[in-house]
Structure formats: C-alpha cells, structure tokens
Amino acid sequence: MKGIVFTEFLSMVDEVFSPLVTEEIILACDLKTGGAYTSVGTYDYKELVALVVALSKRTETPVSQLVKAFGEYLFFALVKNFPEHIDTNQDIFSFLESIEDYIHIEVKKLYPDAQLPTIACEQPQNGTLLFDYKSRCPFADLAEGLITACAEHFKVAVSITREKVCETGTSATFMIQKMA
C-alpha cells in the first residue's frame, strides 16, 4: 500500500485526536517500519490495519467507524494531491465510474507498484449507481468513506447502502442513490 495512505492516516490521528495519540498507537504496534513512512514508499497494508486496531482500543471507537472516517479524510487529501484528475463539474456517477478506468490507471502510471482495488459500476436505473468493490485488502469501509466524501465534494445528496456484505471487508457492493 502506498505511503500516502499511511502518512494521511497519521495526519488524521494528529488532527482529530492528538500527536500524542499518534505516538502512542505507533508504540503499541510492533511495526517493521517503526511508523516512519514516506508518501512515495510502499508498505504492508497490515501495518495500517494494526494502527487502526490500536487507535480503536485507545479511543474506544469501533474500527469500522474509524476506517470510514479515514476514507472521508483521505478523499480530500487525494483531491489536494491530484487536483488534475478531479473535475468538479462532472456528474458524480461519471466520476465514480471513472475511478477504475481512468483515475486508478493514472495512479498506476505514477506509482507502478500501487495495488488498487477492482471497481465495477452499473446504473440499473436513473439516479442509482451500483458500485462493486473487490480487493486483496479488507477496506470496504474505506471505500464507503471515500464515496461519502466524494458526494460531499460534488455537493450531491446521496444515500449509500450496502447491498452485499462480506465479513472480511475485501468486497462490497454499495447502492448509491441520488436524493431528489
């Protein structure tokens, strides 16, 4: 997993909790990296899982709630880091459909070692998008947070529900409906 995901996670913990909490969770995990990440480096995603679990214990907040909140934080960080790929005038569904075929492909050109999820979209009816996420990483909650922030960014009111739930979090289908 690319370092930008780790550096943004630690920034979120600094901002939402405190730099002391960041230090404490790093110490609580037995990390190969010792918690030192650079945005262009590549690290084992299990370190991120360990950090989230430690944060969950430290803050008595469910892991899934923390991962979703991180997804929202990460979306805005990605927009800031890759502004050239985000056209706010686009329709939100076209944007979500372009993640697999354009955005993540551009990410892969930039970072050939990036390991990205597989996303398949379908519009069964007007105003509804089915967004299917599959990954080797258990980050369905991260995907949900990213989609939530995406709707906020595009200033569109949507409801997001999970159609299919996989317990490990490595796959999920989200039904995204535009609200009238």
Tell me: does residue 151 bind ligand HEM (CB under 6 A): no
Q: Residues 82, 154, 160, 177: which binds ligand HEM (CB under 6 A)?
A: 82
Tell me: does residue 116 bind ligand HEM (CB under 6 A): yes
- Residue 113 Cα distances to 3, 37, 40, 71, angstroms: 11, 16, 10, 21
Q: Residues 9, 37, 48, 117: which binds ligand HEM (CB under 6 A)?
A: 117
Q: What is the torsional sign of CA 88, 92, 94, 98?
A: positive
User: Quick one: 26 or 92, whose CB is closer to ligand HEM?
Assistant: 92
Residues 6+ apart with CB under 8 A from 31: 47, 50, 51
Tell me: does residue 160 bind ligand HEM (CB under 6 A): no
Residues 6+ apart with CB under 8 A from 13: 21, 22, 25, 55
Measured distance CA(45)–CA(115) in Å, rounded: 10
The distance of closest approach from Cβ of residue 60 to ligand HEM in the complex, given in angstroms and rounded to an integer, is 25
The distance of closest approach from Cβ of residue 114 to ligand HEM in the complex, given in angstroms and rounded to an integer, is 3
Size of the site for ligand HEM (CB under 6 A): 25
Measured distance CA(53)–CA(139) in Å, rounded: 13
Tell me: does residue 103 bind ligand HEM (CB under 6 A): yes
Tell me: does residue 49 bind ligand HEM (CB under 6 A): no
Tell me: does residue 66 bind ligand HEM (CB under 6 A): no
Interacting stretch for ligand HEM, rule CB under 6 A, among 16-24, 49-57, 102-110, 156-164?
102-110
Please report how the helices 19-28 and 3-16 are oriented relative to each other, as an axis angle in degrees rounded to 10. 130
Longest dimension (CA), the chain: 49
Tell me: does residue 5 bind ligand HEM (CB under 6 A): yes
**Site for ligand HEM, rule CB under 6 A:** 1-2, 4-5, 78, 82, 85-86, 96, 99, 103-104, 107, 114-117, 135, 137, 139, 142-143, 146-147, 150
